A = this chain, B = another copy of it.
């Protein structure tokens, strides 16, 4: 492991000159620069990350904080992570995957923040009221959220535009002629815990349906195929004439499809299904392939990291607040309802 000293000695300059060649913090003449670069090449020199971090007080490490419960990450979250990692790598930063206990581990978070290992952090799975945000801000760590709290004043975040996504999905189904549309959300517990996407889409669904003069029916579902089956059963009991299901639950939607088939209801001829915030890969797994609101996926992670790095590198303290809608991708799980005219007769 060659050090800067070695390079300086070989190039017959001082260490500070070598440092300036590397960082560009001060002008260096052509000739000197060439000598230094040659010496570096000859010694196969690589700057020591720790030393650089200590001296410059910039670790060039970003933290990606995500609660990791028992059942791991869904496809959507995984896309956030990979997008963030790729973006960080592209701008010369490292990305640490830091599993933080969802709940009471605030102290652990504070400790982490105080170790000054992270120049900044991306916080995932944000609740509407999330005490982690305050703790992090208080610790003085630059912060970008994927998702957002209820009050976003002074915060940087990237999130899915749930309102618009729901509006488009409902408009699409209504346009096909559907009138009895049931919304299958995450579980009641998830809703109660203040999980933003579940709550925002719930409200947006009410607004959208009411706007079309239709009755909004929402059914919660556990995040599992079995949960989807149960939810569909509940939905049919509640709304026997339903012709379309809008599902905000990547996992449950497969159970919904199964239960539909099991009851002799054809998709899409008897019942149409639209899956919200879903990746193409997952949508293609279903039979028929799911018409879905395609999640921005890795783009969210990428944008979050880019915003964070811009904040760190630039002196700016401007906030980055951005919402990305999901794009409607029509596949085989939707059609006009069988028993009505498309215009709703």
CB of A306, distance to nearest CB on chain B (Å): 15
CB of A228, distance to nearest CB on chain B (Å): 9
A297 to B70, CA, bound (A): 12
A258 to B254, CA, bound (A): 13
* Total copies of this chain within the assembly: 2
CB of A88, distance to nearest CB on chain B (Å): 8
Interface size on A, residues (CB 8 A): 54
A286 to B258, CA, bound (A): 8
Q: List 3 A-B pairs, minimum CB-CB distance, nearest first.
A: A46-B114, A258-B287, A49-B117
Contact with B along A1-34 (1 / 0, CB 8 A): 1000000000000000000000000000000000
A44 partner residues in chain B, CB cutoff 8 A: 114
A237 partner residues in chain B, CB cutoff 8 A: none
Q: Which of B54, B82, B258 contacts A68 (CB 8 A)?
A: B82
Interface residues of A (CB under 8 A from B): 1, 44, 46-51, 53-54, 59, 61, 64, 68, 71-73, 75, 78-79, 81-82, 85-86, 89, 94-99, 111, 114-117, 224-226, 251, 254, 257-258, 261-262, 281, 284-289, 297-298
CB pair B117 A99 closer than 8 Å: no
A214 to B221, CA, bound (A): 45
CB of A205, distance to nearest CB on chain B (Å): 24
Q: Which of B47, B226, B261, B284 contacts A225 (CB 8 A)?
A: B284
CB pair B85 A94 closer than 8 Å: no
CB pair A116 B73 closer than 8 Å: no
6 contacts between A and B (CB under 8 A): A44-B114, A50-B59, A72-B75, A85-B97, A258-B287, A287-B287
